[in-house]
A and B are shown apart, each in its own frame.
Chain A
């Protein structure tokens, strides 16, 4: 279809769901321009909102967000989606943004001048990068206003862990399935097989590209040599099954967080990860595992902390926020320890209940009063059922509560990381200012000493550094905006996440009590029948 068609199409309201003609021209274009980078802008007519599923892996739900990152989150995204045609001319797409836009296009697309043309085509809706470029800090009120449901979605699930190979070279492969209506993908439904190192590789790539902007990059689950070795060796027991399930769930949550981040979703590496059949093996992860990488970031941030640099600014928002984050991380760690203790005690309770049940059953068989004997064996059965109940409750404690806390402890680390990036940007700016100052002083000296040839060089250097100062100042402002926005977005997601997970946890507790009631109600008449 021609450009005009597309433009014409863009006049209409974005259709509610797939199968509309509007999408095809864009995806065609995407294919036509094999340069991957352009997809970002092309496919971007309709902003992305990733509606991700709740923690249950295989439930493909069209349900209400009991889930983490529903459309409302992508505030900026939502804003442009179902809005009437007139919207496209409204504020978001401003000239100021061209810098960021250009930078983004350099970073993400590596595309040439042709990419600059795209924005006008994508007039129908702003690209996500322009979204990011709104210079006004995104206030909570603004974000809350944008609770428009976005109809363009992407669901990702990680399922079917399979062991490939044998012995120490074996590995687990996971099926990553995507269901999406986003035009930037070739198909609506597709799946690929990925292994753990692929996930780590994705993290690294995203980290390299985006962390400097002050983005909060969701951290992947940690490497575990012990856990994996058990699996490799083929130990067929519940602990390795647990380990695999834990990892699968963690990988799924990781991906869901990545795709729900509006900028990250646009990254071609993410698209490649989801779509491409064969992924080149991420080798560097062997040396630089996710955990190792995080450690590096943490060490760096510790080093910065130790220097006790404080950004001299009148707006205390950043400082306050960082303190909040640090204190929250502390509390979450504490909570996590206690929840782990609860998990262990429940597992212990589980074991002890099973043993007790057997013991009571034995007692029942010794008992020579018939009715009592039967009641005791019924009691043994109730206790057996209680064991199953405790088991389920312990699993819920772990998978819903403990893992939630573990995720957020890591995420808060990532948040701290982005504050550090801002700190670094500020430092660079400050240093450049002091260098400029030195150059000016040098020039003054030369002027006084009257050395005209060196003077020219000095003047050139001053100009260069003036440029750098401006550049770094802009960078700092930009990163400040991003960090602020990211943190607000993060807080919103965190709030949703915690609420939904805690509700889920309480619901599982409720269910267990309901079942408990059934068991004892069945037992009571047996006890009363003893004579």
Chain B
């Protein structure tokens, strides 16, 4: 059973349950088996699975973003692309360097890298799963037709990745959007709630970004230190096997200890990665999605205000009044619709965020304690033996 969504505390109900039951890593891509259990009448069966790739998730996400109906919701952030490049590179380097190290060292390092690969793999599965669960948990999005197609259609969705031109278009769209975003953000909101949210999210997003980057660096150093302890253990082992004097036996025992503590240190780094770094990364993306919502609302507000001005002008000139009125009404409806759902979305976002942080921080503390106690025990028993011998 694959790991459940860790960063989001979601209510799942029986009417629609989605998970990734399996995943396969091939050379270039990862194939996820999306498994659905549902009592909804829309689906042909109650339980079914399909195979999807990363691009298809992106397609689904983008279809939400582009759908005007969903303008008033926080669109669950798209999962990041599975990135095994670094890990693959390391495995390759290891293969090249095979001649220069002892058999034990090589086997050890290979196991290390394989474990790392597996960890990255698990993470990417979890992140794709979270995305789907968020959609399934959302009262409106879960009804989306594309979502159902994604879940049920057991053929390839023929969603190819964006080609170069489309990527360029996206790039420019983003540039325009952020420029616009600045303009829109500058407009002061009448509603205090939204005004506060705007300020809050801007600051929060930046700080989460910073914290996320710094947590990554910290965890990387931790991993490096654990790797060093691994090499120390190996060298001590070599020293210990040179002879059978009691200092050599000593070395062997210490080497064994370091082997074990190193494993624990590596787990500590991995757990910090999962509970802290991933948490921050996720809320970096979600806070961006929330900002996007505010932007859309801001945009709608500006459009509404412009429509009002246009209506006044039309009335003054008594020209195209009906047109202006219709246009103004459309804008007004759009704005109000977004505002209404946005408020609830932002409140939900806060609730989710607090719950997720609580869960992860508690788990982080518990794991740190577990590992430290593990280390402590190993050290105590080893020191007992070593001191007893001397």
List residues of chain A with CB under 8 Å of any chain B CB.
324, 327-328, 331-332, 334-335, 338-339, 341-342, 345-346, 348-349, 352-353, 355-356, 359-360, 362-363, 366-369, 371-372, 375-376, 379, 491, 494-495, 498-500, 502-503, 506-507, 509-510, 513-514, 516-517, 520-521, 523-524, 527-528, 530-531
Contacts and interface: CB of A to CB of B under 8 A. Distances in A.
Given A506-B383, A516-B372, A335 B254 contact: no
Interface string B192-227: 000000001001100110110011011011101100
Nearest to B235: A335
Interface stretch (B85-93, B128-136, B239-247): B239-247
Interface string B362-380: 1011101100110110011
B10 interface: no
Contacts of B246: 495
Contacts of A527: 358, 361-362, 364-365
Contact of B239 (A328, A348, A372, A509): A328
Contacts of A521: 369
A513 B379 contact: yes
A372 B379 contact: no
B386 A503 contact: yes
Nearest to B374: A513
A48 to B, nearest CB: 24
A338 B231 contact: yes
Given A331-B238, A348-B221, 5 more contacts: A339-B232, A356-B215, A503-B383, A530-B354, A530-B358
Given A516-B372, A520-B372, A524-B369, A342 B232 contact: yes
B200 A506 contact: no
22 contacts: A331-B239, A332-B239, A334-B235, A342-B229, A346-B221, A346-B225, A355-B214, A356-B215, A362-B207, A363-B211, A366-B207, A367-B204, A491-B245, A495-B245, A499-B247, A499-B250, A499-B390, A513-B375, A513-B379, A516-B372, A524-B365, A527-B362
B127 to A, nearest CB: 21
A139 B67 CA distance: 89
B387 A503 contact: yes
B204 A366 contact: yes
Given A352-B217, A356-B217, A502-B250, A372 B390 contact: no
A158 to B, nearest CB: 26
Contacts of A346: 221, 225
B68 interface: no
Contacts of A506: 254, 257, 379, 382-383, 386
B228 interface: yes
A499 B365 contact: no
For the complex of A and B, list the 9 residue pairs with the smallest distance between their C-beta atoms, beginning with the closest: A349-B221, A342-B228, A530-B358, A495-B247, A527-B361, A352-B218, A356-B214, A359-B211, A510-B379
Interface string B342-368: 000000001001100110011011101
Nearest to A510: B379
Contact of B221 (A345, A360, A513, A520): A345
A368 to B, nearest CB: 6
Interface residues of B, number: 57
Given A331-B242, A366-B204, A530-B361, A356 B369 contact: no
A35 B64 CA distance: 100
Contacts of A524: 362, 365-366, 369
B236 interface: yes
Given A331-B235, A498-B250, A516-B372, A352 B383 contact: no
B240 to A, nearest CB: 10
Nearest to A338: B231
Contact of A531 (B203, B215, B354): B354
Contacts of A328: 239, 242
B361 A349 contact: no
Nearest to B223: A345
Given A334-B235, A356-B218, A517 B369 contact: yes
Interface string B245-270: 11100110010010001000000000
A360 B232 contact: no
Contacts of B215: 356, 359
A355 B251 CA distance: 36
Contacts of A324: 242-243
Contacts of A517: 369, 372-373, 376
B348 to A, nearest CB: 13
A252 B215 CA distance: 41
A520 B217 contact: no
Interface in B259-300: 261
The A interface is mostly helix, strand or loop, or mixed, namely helix
A491 B243 CA distance: 13
A352 B379 CA distance: 26
A159 to B, nearest CB: 28
Nearest to B364: A527
Nearest to B248: A495
B203 A366 contact: yes
B376 to A, nearest CB: 5
Contacts of A342: 225, 228-229, 232
Given A356-B217, A527-B361, A510 B376 contact: yes
Contacts of B245: 491, 495
Contacts of A360: 211
A346 to B, nearest CB: 5
A510 B369 contact: no
A494 B350 CA distance: 62
Contacts of A500: 390
Given A345-B224, A349-B218, A355-B214, A499 B366 contact: no
A359 B247 contact: no
A500 B387 CA distance: 9
Contacts of A499: 247, 250, 386, 390
B214 A348 contact: no
A524 B372 CA distance: 14
Nearest to B250: A499
A205 B207 CA distance: 63
Contact of A327 (B242, B364, B386, B387): B242
A209 to B, nearest CB: 30
B365 A523 contact: yes
Contact of A379 (B204, B350, B361, B380): B361
B298 to A, nearest CB: 20
A139 to B, nearest CB: 14
Contacts of A339: 228, 232
A356 B214 CA distance: 5
A513 B207 contact: no
Contacts of A516: 368, 372
Contacts of B373: 517
Contacts of B220: 352
Contact of A353 (B204, B218, B251, B353): B218
Nearest to A332: B239
Contacts of A375: 357-358, 361
A318 to B, nearest CB: 17
B366 A530 contact: no
A372 B203 contact: no
B379 A369 contact: no
A73 to B, nearest CB: 14
Contacts of B383: 503, 506-507, 510
Interface string B288-315: 0000000000000000000000000000
B64 to A, nearest CB: 27
A346 B221 CA distance: 7
A521 B366 CA distance: 8
Given A349-B218, A506-B257, A520 B204 contact: no
Contacts of B228: 338-339, 341-342, 345
Contacts of A513: 372, 375-376, 379
A356 B213 CA distance: 9
A363 B232 CA distance: 37
Contacts of A376: 357
A524 B365 CA distance: 6
Contact of B214 (A359, A368, A379, A491): A359
